Chains A and B, each alone.
Chain A
Amino acid sequence: MDSIDEISKKILYLIANFNVKQSEIIEIYKKNDFNITRTLNSETFKNKSAPLQLGNDKILDFDNMIAYLGKNNINVLNISGKFYPKLLKEIFYPPPVLFYKGNQILKSDYLLAIVGTRKCSAYGKDVARYISRQLSKIGITIVSGMASGIDYWAQKAALEEKGSSIGILGCGIDIIYPPENKDLYIQLMNNGSLLTEFFPGTPPLKSNFPARNRIISGMSMGVVVIEAGIKSGALITGEFALNQNREVFAIPGSIFNSESQGCHKLIKNGAKLVENIDDILEEISQYYKNDISCDFQNESPADNFKQNKKIDILVKTLNEKQRIVFDCLGCLPKSIEKIVFETKFKVKDLLQIISELEIKELIKEKKYNAFIRL
């Protein structure tokens, strides 16, 4: 209970018991020259009375909610508070209160968002992990939406690197969505933080996610978009970032991959093309003013995959048949039928060789029935 300060309580009280819209609070806050006391005593709120309704029939009761927050270690930040993300205050409609779990949010000054599709390719996954790891090494906190795909891998990599990460939710903080990312939710709760503007118990409604995306981009110095379809949430985040005057970075992908079209569109519209993290650091230097430890060794993406050398050694150990199959494969997926035609092996022999190469981690079944070199 003590963790919630009076101003936050007052705001929650207004919202919960008087059904004041969050945007209304912000409007009046702006009119009152960003003075929170004057805002909360404003006349406008006096004649409202309907209690706030969440979801279908869940009516929010103020006292219950405060007790619930205390019991579940949910903390609250208000817009006038010291730890409220600085950059988020600048956006058009910042949320007046934020709920959070974990404590990294109080320590993080330099936030960068990584967003992307839920259905990422192997390439997208590698890029997300690479960028996230590199940024974490120099002390940048990764902000993302805790969704599957790119978000998942970026946040996971940041935590693995002992960096910090903030997951912005599109539902109440007590709801794990998507449920399959429970492991990430728990890791973020312990080693990072979870943040949302939605009241506890809010279900993950479709309409919540664009609002969440504005927070992702709003609190970050910039947004890195890794693989986004032409109509995707990640692209919306990118567009929010442009409107909010944040840096937008996009990773180029294959022109055959529809999940890269959004990134390419962003690049065409002026987003910065990212090949390594220097491309990112150049643009955000205005924010961090040498605060960030720059003595790290920048690895190029190619160096990062030192496995390449390992692969060369492995390839030398292959027997003749394995070598033929390995040479037959490339970076584009090739079906078993094509491999049989090109190598003239029998199917049963080919399947053995494929297994052997898979175990050696030289090739991989990219799509079903189609293989690529790793």
Chain B
Amino acid sequence: MFFELNSFSLIGIEAIAISVEAHISNGLPSFTIVGLPDKAINESRQRVKAAIINSGYNFPMKKIIINLSPADIKKEGALYDLPIAIAILSVSGQIKIKDKDKCCFIGELSLDGNLNPVRGIISMAEEASRIGKKYFFMPYSNAEQASLIKNIKIIPCKSLKDIIQLCLSNENLNSQYFSISRTKIENKCDDLDFCDIRGQLRSKRAIEIAASGMHNLMLIGPPGAGKTMLSKRIISILPKLSLNESIEVTKIYSLHKSNNSNLISQRPFRNPHHTITRISLVGGGIIPRPGEISLAHRGILFLDEFSLFPRTLIEDLRQPLENKDIIISRNNISCKFPCSFMLVVATNPCICGYLGDERKKCTCRTGEIRKYWNSISGPIMDRIDMKVYVPRLEDDDFINSGFTESSNIIMKRVEESREIQKERYENSNINYNAEVSTRTIYSWVDKNNELKKLIPELTKKYNLSARAVASLIKISRTIADLEKSRDIKLSYFMEALQYRINTGLENIINN
């Protein structure tokens, strides 16, 4: 006898439909799973057997063969427990599933028949909806995440018994599905707010601009100046995640073990330590998993003590920064993970940390400072549009700085500038000013004669590279968007000049 059920397998972030086939025949009692199962799937024989018996049904003492088709794709995880159990129960004639072609099953069984959550549920639900399935049976705690996907009815189940009863009763499956109200998606921030930070006016303004145009940002400053404090608050001024973005992010996170039930409603802020390995930064493994750069998708990747990160690791960021995704290839699988993030790095200006500080003297030798900066990858420095020095403030700077804006007010401005950008890039695959190509950048200043005259002058004076000029124009564009101005005015370019630091450093070294 033969029976077939729909289920899904994960390849990276994408789900593909597979079918779980069961064949039962007379012979010596045995239970075999074929179709490139991994260890966890093979062990599911024991779980399925116990779960069926403990739910009060019979495990057929016959020769059972389970095939996971297509048979040439490697499958992993305990997520086929439920379809296997249902297939066995069906094939042995104990239950009958209505509309089985329109149903999908996924779930891990415990020995008493309860269902445990699985990873990657949102990708599977999306795929199920795409290929036109109607009902998706899944563990209860996965339902909230999966219910984001439209055009599919999520049927949450607490145990194997639940499903069997649901199938046996004549109730309409349509009345069982789970729905989630849209209001649940909120941008919660753990009380981190920019009004906590007094002074640091230039850094705060730079962060506002960087957040608006998704410019990569470098904060340079002595220890204790507040670089980390500033960076952690960038999240609080970024616009809220849209539904689609939320799904994208949740998809990635649901592959990650730490999260398999909640919906991600907050922009990710990833802050890996500098001892991180290459695989965990960019993603990888025998079966590729997303790394920190993908977990920071639609959010911020913050690298504190940037100079301590091994150079090879930092060089790995070059392509993802440019392409906004990373393709990870292993011998039989190649997966693409999205990684559109804003890179924020913080570092000290030298080894002792006090170069350029007002009160404490730097004890580094010139050669050491040069070596320190040389150790930071040039191409990455090039890709960081804004570099700001975060000074340690004097006591009266704190007192004098007076009124500080709260994150909500800044966020409004950022959101407005994002709207303007969205309109501008409507028919292209660009989202933010930071992603614009050089040719477009120069066309922005083509008509501005004042700027056209000034730029070569400044290039000579400050020894700017072509890429530095392009960065300056990009920043000016974002400032113009923040000011709701159609054109890049000279004054915006002037302000942009304040967010670069290269020449300052050279001055200190040569002085």
Contacts and interface: CB of A to CB of B under 8 A. Distances in A.
B397 interface: yes
Contacts of A67: none
A370 B201 CA distance: 12
A340 B201 contact: yes
Given A337-B400, A348-B479, A368-B504, 18 more contacts: A118-B365, A120-B511, A149-B511, A152-B510, A180-B370, A337-B199, A338-B400, A341-B401, A341-B402, A348-B495, A351-B494, A352-B494, A355-B494, A355-B498, A359-B458, A359-B494, A367-B356, A368-B221
Contact of B491 (A125, A335, A352, A359): A352
Interface string B347-372: 00100000011100110011100100
B257 interface: no
B120 interface: no
Nearest to A361: B461
Contact of B367 (A149, A178, A356): A178
B280 to A, nearest CB: 34
Contacts of A336: 201-202
A335 B393 contact: yes
Contacts of A359: 458, 461, 494
Contacts of B510: 148, 152
B397 A338 contact: yes
A355 B365 CA distance: 30
Interface string B128-168: 00000000000000000000000000000000000000000
Interface in B244-258: none
B449 to A, nearest CB: 17
B89 to A, nearest CB: 68
Interface string B496-511: 0110010010000111
Contact of B495 (A179, A333, A335, A355): A355
A340 B401 CA distance: 8
A338 B396 contact: yes
A17 interface: no
Interface in A317-371: 333, 335-338, 340-341, 347-348, 351-356, 358-359, 365, 367-370
B394 interface: yes
**Residue with the highest number of chain A CB atoms closer than 10 Å, among B199, B201, B389, B497:** B201
Contacts of A120: 511
A335 B402 contact: no
A368 B389 contact: yes
B94 to A, nearest CB: 73
**Leading 4 A-B pairs by shortest Cβ distance:** A368-B389, A341-B400, A355-B494, A369-B391
B205 interface: yes
Given A179-B367, A337-B199, A365-B504, A348 B205 contact: yes
Contact of B511 (A125, A335, A354): A125
B397 A352 contact: no
B363 to A, nearest CB: 10
B472 to A, nearest CB: 11
Interface of A: 118-122, 124-125, 148-149, 152, 178-180, 258, 333, 335-338, 340-341, 347-348, 351-356, 358-359, 365, 367-370
Contact of A347 (B201, B362, B389, B391): B201
B394 A335 contact: yes
For chain A, what secondary structure do more than half of its interface residues adopt (helix, strand, loop), or is it mixed? helix
B212 to A, nearest CB: 13
A335 to B, nearest CB: 6
Contacts of A341: 400-402
Given A118-B366, A149-B511, A351 B205 contact: yes
A351 B511 CA distance: 24
Contacts of B491: 352
A369 B389 contact: yes
Contacts of B205: 347-348, 351
Nearest to B491: A352
Contact of B361 (A152, A258, A351): A258
A368 B396 contact: no
Contacts of A179: 367
Interface of B: 199-202, 204-205, 220-221, 349, 356-358, 361-362, 365-367, 370, 389, 391, 393-394, 396-397, 400-402, 458, 461, 479, 491-492, 494-495, 497-498, 501, 504, 509-511
Given A337-B201, A368-B391, A369-B202, A354 B498 contact: yes
5 contacts: A148-B510, A179-B367, A180-B366, A351-B494, A351-B495
B358 A333 contact: yes
Contact of A367 (B220, B357, B492): B357
Contact of B356 (A118, A338, A354, A368): A368
A258 to B, nearest CB: 6
A278 to B, nearest CB: 28
B475 to A, nearest CB: 11
A124 B495 CA distance: 30
Contacts of B461: 359
Contacts of B366: 118-119, 148-149, 178, 180
A333 B366 CA distance: 23
Nearest to A335: B397
Contacts of A180: 366-367, 370, 509
Nearest to B492: A352
Contacts of A337: 199-201, 393, 397, 400-401
Contacts of B362: 119
Contacts of B370: 180
B350 to A, nearest CB: 11
- For A149, A180, A335, A358, the residue with the greatest tally of chain B CB atoms inside 10 Å of its CB is A335
B151 to A, nearest CB: 47
A251 to B, nearest CB: 16
Contacts of A369: 202, 389, 391
A339 to B, nearest CB: 9
Q: Which of B365, B396, B510 has the most CB of A within 10 A?
A: B510
B385 to A, nearest CB: 16
A355 B362 CA distance: 27
A48 to B, nearest CB: 37
A223 to B, nearest CB: 22
Nearest to A341: B400
Nearest to B483: A348
Contacts of B394: 335
Contacts of B204: 347
Contacts of A125: 511
A351 B202 contact: yes
Contacts of A124: 511
B495 A352 contact: yes
B68 to A, nearest CB: 60
Contacts of A122: 511
A287 to B, nearest CB: 32
Counting chain A CB atoms within 10 Å of each CB, which of B367, B461, B479, B495 scores highest? B495
Nearest to B458: A359
B455 to A, nearest CB: 12
Contacts of B391: 335, 367-370
Contacts of A367: 356-358, 391
A152 B511 CA distance: 9
Contacts of A370: 358, 391
Most chain B beta-carbon neighbours within 10 Å: one of A347, A353, A354: A347
